[in-house]
Amino acid sequence: MDAAESERLAGFRERWARLFPQRQNMRFDNNVVQNPYCPQCRFCCGPQEEATPFPMALLDSQVSPRTPEDFYLLDRHTACLDQRGCKALGPCGCRLDNTLRPIACNLFPYVLVNGRLYLYRVCPASMFMDKDDLLALGKAVHAYLASLPERDRARISIERAKEDLAEKYLDLHLSPLCADRARAAV
């Protein structure tokens, strides 16, 4: 996406270019990012490299007795993705209906980090889609997140260290969505 792309990102770009010779566009329908690369990619649902689990907050309406069957959990309200992958990943992709998936999954590769909206740069859609189209989609995602209760936004927002942010996440420079977290991360 830019001249300063790291060796690791460049490796992903080559890998995705081989896997996806046809370029495709994401859409945002019914508050869900429809990413045509996902069914074949599944990079962010399978086993992760990082030892630290990736937290995926659940809304109150998404927590039920079936939740421990669907997810590895960090706590009652927080599913996680780790070196085992996601428990909800089945042989044909995610087993869950959009209403049960963490909001983070429905919005990926857009990610609320430290109270601001970022684009996960490793995703093939982030690498191959037109920049203006990515920003337009990001604005729609931002408007959706802004419509959620502040408490839910604060729960959804993950924390990332500056170095990790700089390499893997692109700041969309949209207004902060969790003012306290955005201030704390400066």
Residues that bind ligand SF4 (CB under 6 A): 35, 37-38, 41-45, 81, 86, 88-89, 94, 96, 101-102, 105, 108-109, 123-125
User: CB of residue 43 vs ligand SF4: minimum separation in angstroms?
Assistant: 4
Residue (58 or 177) nearer to ligand SF4, CB: 58
**In angstroms, rounded to a whole number, what is the distance separating the alpha carbons of residues 113 and 161?**
10
How would you label 144-177 residue by residue, b for 16+ Cβ within 10 Å and e otherwise? Answer: bbeebeeeebbbbbbeeeeeebeebbbebebebb
Nearer to ligand SF4 by Cβ, of 168 and 185: the residue is 168
Q: Which is nearer to ligand SF4, 62 or 114 (CB)?
A: 62
Comparing CB distances to ligand SF4, the nearer of 101 and 142 is: 101
CB of 2 to ligand SF4, least distance (A): 18
**Minimum distance from residue 40 beta carbon to ligand SF4 (Å):** 8
